[in-house]
Chain A
Amino acid sequence: MSEIKGKLKSEIERLLREDIVDVVIAFRKEDSPLRPQPAFFRNTDELTNLEYNSLCQNNLANYLTRFPHDTRIGIVVRGCENRSVNALIVEKQHQRENLFLIGIPCHGIVDIKKIIKKTGEEVTEYSENQDEITVLVKGQKVTFPRKELLHDSCLRCVHPNPVDADVLLGDPLPEGDPSIARQAVKKIEAMDRDERYAWFQHETERCIRCYACREACPMCYCTECFVDHAAPRWVESDVSQGGMQAWHIIRAFHQTGRCTSCGACERACPMDIKLTYLTEKLNDDIREVYQFEAGMDRETQPPFASFNLDDKKRFVI
């Protein structure tokens, strides 16, 4: 793993030194070993802080929409991030020729909440390899199998490899099993209506409407989100049941055919709310009905964003 970090550092150095890009979006070390931060490198001398490990939990594609389209951006992309970048290009949020994608096949993101649940938060050192995660807690080394600590959406990952990176650091990994990926949704589909509603209610009622899920999502880039619309107001803005349920349903629906299953929304949530079961269900439907997966290429419009005159069902036009 640290080998990848070395390769990444040289690649970023090259991109900046040869003036191929203006900025590189990657991660850097912070005080706590558990919390690397997204970072923006513009000079090679800043790279002493560069970090890359499985604790890098954010989807960096999220930051693309903050830059003008003519900014030449280098960006670290794992499987899901590459697909998010593609989905953004399809939606004309940046120009592919101004992007340099540094691809890394991904062994999955480690869920910091799972570590803390097992060890408490007093972690002073962190190390990892493909199969195991080791942390130092109050002077004691503790090792866990990687699978025990992976974030739920990474356990379901089908496409761990970047799909069209400009350079690939590390060997491609085997694709994930789609039937395993479907299990979480199937579990909820198997519930009866009342159980499903109780599940939904339990998850939504803890919402504090901080919108970390929205802000962490690369595809939530609207200048004005529907919940922020003030005249007229479309959704109750308090933490009433109606307002919170409306937020969760509409947020998910706006992702139809656009979500790349990265799980950044769920990792950002401060109240441990499950969010991905809604988007995963929509992703399943879109795969089944339209044979489409978001971000697999950079041309195909998501089904709900496209129409054509030959459409068999004429109700839209």
Chain B
Amino acid sequence: MTYILKKKKINQVLKGWFKNYDVYAPQKVEDYSQFFRLTSADDLVLNEPHNTRFPPKALFLPQSESLLKYDRKINQLKEAIPTPKPRIIFGIRPCDAYAVTLLDTVFNTEEYSDPYWKTRRDATIIIGLGCSEPCQTCFCTTTGQGPFNPEGLDALMTELEDSYSIETFTEKGEKLFSDLLLASESQQRKAQEIQKKAVESMTPAFDTTNLKHNLDQIFDSDYWATISESCLGCGVCTFLCPTCFCFDIVDEVQRNERVRNWDTCMFRIYSQEASGHNPRPTRKERTRQRIMHKYSYWIDHIGEIGCTGCGRCVRFCPVGLDIRAMLRAANTFESETINA
């Protein structure tokens, strides 16, 4: 169903949810926005032109989380599996919601189910906010979704002038909004026009038709040295990425705690072995891993590209590296070598 939520009624709706749910929504920090639990409806920030800077994957896979606590004296340990209150994530962009479904294929499969991920996931309703004006750095239509992609969402909002039209896709989503007025036919038409216009405003950033094949072909080529030469080897692209999920588990012995931290293939120590050998010794191999994982290995595993086109890695790379330019170069690099 499609409902209408007046902008001036948002606070009232949020306050209604506070009784039964923890509501997570974008809030302002310095000059950017980040998802936090809302304690006051006034802190909500929905007018940011793009997604939050810090990726909402952290609401399911926190950057650092305690896995278990132990007491060495009495030889006991206690798992720290979260018991979250029912949660609503409100105002997530479709690229980030779709990313959560990609991460489900890692943390919540029939074979392996991560209880830390699963308890949070099961307790969460996800309400998206579509992007009426996609940014220059966005490329979600290229990766196969789009600024109003419903995958991973229980409901999706489209901004109209003084209201949001809200399309519900699941029972959970329906339950949250069923008290609202239904959208009229003309309101629904208006929302569809906005959605169509947004999709049409985005031009393909690179050709994905043979991209995986092309990347696989140039695995051993000079391409990687060229594109990674200015790379600093920091963790900005991977930590801000909504689909990067690598982690490291460490014992914080002084706190008697086993902790899972985000890790990144862009760091030298990520692949450093105890012997001292490093199978990915330079930025070249590490950049290759990052790109190949997203655009080749994900396809091997689940048949989908592991990038949602959110644009964070493009916006925040300290040396201005642009994955879109890298992939265009990968497509042409192959043809150059074949011609040579």
Contacts and interface: CB of A to CB of B under 8 A. Distances in A.
B230 A113 contact: no
Contact of A238 (B32, B259, B320, B324): B259
A56 to B, nearest CB: 9
Max count, chain B CB within 10 A of own CB: residue among A120, A124, A208: A208
A238 B240 contact: no
Instruction: Give the dominant DSSP class at B's interface.
Output: loop
A40 B321 CA distance: 14
B234 A239 contact: no
Contacts of A122: 135-136
A125 interface: no
A38 B267 CA distance: 20
A208 B235 CA distance: 9
A109 B50 CA distance: 25
Contacts of B297: none
B162 interface: no
Nearest to A269: B318
A211 B50 CA distance: 24
B235 A211 contact: yes
B268 A228 contact: yes
Nearest to B268: A228
B202 to A, nearest CB: 13
Interface string B223-266: 00000011011111001100000001010100000010100100
A294 interface: no
Contacts of A156: none
A70 interface: no
Given A113-B31, A121-B315, A272-B32, A32 B320 contact: yes
B136 A121 contact: yes
A139 B234 CA distance: 35
A237 B63 contact: no
B324 A117 contact: no
B261 A270 contact: no
A272 B31 contact: yes
Contacts of B269: 228, 230
Given A271-B53, A272-B31, A121 B234 contact: no
Interface stretch (A84-92, A127-135, A212-220, A284-292): A212-220
Nearest to B260: A238
A98 interface: no
Nearest to A213: B234
A216 B234 contact: yes
B318 A212 contact: yes
A37 B229 CA distance: 11
A158 interface: no
Nearest to B137: A121
Interface string A6-34: 00000000000000000000000011100
Nearest to A138: B133
B325 A30 contact: yes
B54 interface: yes
Contacts of A257: none
Count chain B CB atoms within 10 A of each CB in A40, A57, A215 and give the residue with the most: A215
A206 interface: yes
A36 B324 CA distance: 15
B63 A239 contact: yes
B49 interface: yes
B17 interface: no
A58 B230 CA distance: 10
Contact of B319 (A37, A233, A272): A37
Contacts of B250: 233, 237-238
Interface in B46-97: 49-50, 53-54, 63-64
A208 B325 contact: no
A111 B63 CA distance: 28
A216 B230 CA distance: 11
Interface in A245-289: 267-268, 270-272
B239 A32 contact: no
A143 interface: no
Contact of A36 (B54, B232, B320): B320
B316 A270 contact: yes
A61 to B, nearest CB: 13
A5 interface: no
Contacts of B267: 211, 228
A32 B259 contact: no
A5 to B, nearest CB: 17
B29 interface: yes
| 10 nearest A-B residue pairs (beta carbon) | A35-B320, A210-B235, A268-B318, A238-B64, A215-B232, A212-B234, A215-B234, A38-B230, A37-B320, A270-B316
7 contacts: A32-B137, A32-B314, A120-B49, A210-B264, A212-B318, A228-B267, A268-B234
Interface of B: 29-32, 49-50, 53-54, 63-64, 135-137, 229-230, 232-236, 239-240, 248, 250, 252, 259, 261, 264, 267-269, 272, 314-322, 324-325
Given A35-B322, A270-B318, 9 more contacts: A30-B320, A37-B320, A39-B230, A58-B319, A62-B232, A120-B49, A122-B136, A267-B318, A270-B316
